[in-house]
Structure 1
């Protein structure tokens, strides 16, 4: 296999914040990418975004997939060397019913794995989250061996969905017994920041950041956990496709130290941004707001959280040094401001 054709990758969720960066990284490294979208409009948006970022899209094609439907998965995985399953519903707010978020997360992971298995794919790289490790913790250090307690009343539905989806993936792999066993690597990002490709700011993290810049968050919630730049997340995803030592591992893509939204606000204020507030919201206020606000309710379990990650294995396996929080925060702000001009 030449450097120009490193293999064909089915990338689910190509139009998302992380998905676009993964597509860019793979295309620039010589992979062919088959991206899944829900509509022709999204397909056009992805092409326009990558072309505007000076990415050669000659080796990019598209398929239509739905996480909750079997339709198209077999055809989408056909002839693929790898699958990168990034697509998953994400919102801090708890949905009206848990199944709205949990069903597509779990079913989507299993559909990607089954399609890969049936198509003879070499390896699946699955996007999970550090929330599947640390969601039911408040303080201390978590690592790849830790799992969130999905029975905990402190976790929100998104955390539960990511944990259940990842567990389902590992259980699927454990059930495989043939000699030509497909491989699985799971990447567990922290809270993801960094510059957006294109003008789509609908992702939960970018929306929150944008609201901070606009001064729409007068009081900042009291919690801190490891974070990561989206460019680092994409790089680790792509390296996980072929790193032989990564097989069967949970890869923490996050800083070792926790970062708070107050820290983010201070970085922005020091660089002259007027909108961000550095005032900490009293815990009781968030609890009161959560009675009638589903997004506030989704944050309750994070109150007082101050967690470190053990990312030693990631640093060693991939010779990785995370971007600094300051670089990531300022590049995020510049990216958001650029879309407003």
Structure 2
């Protein structure tokens, strides 16, 4: 399945980190992925300032009007949210969405989507420091300050910085499957999946390096998802008390040990459903769920559809069996 074009709509004052994330994710396929990849188009009304850099877009904003239904338009954040977004950018984003283009914002790019009316009556997010401003300026938007990203189907919004990367990986996962999204994550040396509903701000910062107290434990668990691991097993492996382990998980991952473990089991089940013909019973065993009934219950609650329907959807839409 060809994932189509990803267009980056840039304007003066764009945040270079968010812009760079989108370009890095969608511009080139990671090593080992031989299937179709995105076409990339950087679009803007002439040269723009991106942080301390000057960027010459390869296309004008009129290129957005030639996007096809199913293509993706990404609006990175920009620094000066006190100023209204450029009218020509707002108009181009509105017209692209009306033509069936999927529109996603990164960080404060949500202000552009809101100005275009795309967020009215929808749940959305942006960087936690700006959610109150977004809600006050656009009262028709249901602003959620406590999530990494929100997927409304044709309209998606993310919080800032790392959450923008989470949303980009989420789009790759939707278009090309978990195996490809994981390959992109490995290239970027980042975790392959953080659910959009995870809190975007935790009391203690997430360590930037791999020398945090769970650095050895998390890969060990990932390699043993087929085993019936408990919190006590994890605590014993980490040489911590269960209570201390819980505090460390909250600090590093933003969630509890059991919830993190369940998320990894569900992600592994999705990969197996996408890439193998294994039965649901076999996948339940391989992911440590025990029984197909248990897997179906947790999968349906987390993903929103039963495992069998999830597999049929991937096969029907021509997702590649990587």
- What is the TM-score with the length of structure 2 in the denominator? 0.37
The higher radius of gyration belongs to 2
Structure with more strand by fraction: 1
Greater RCO, 1 or 2 (C-alpha within 8 Å, sep 6+): 1
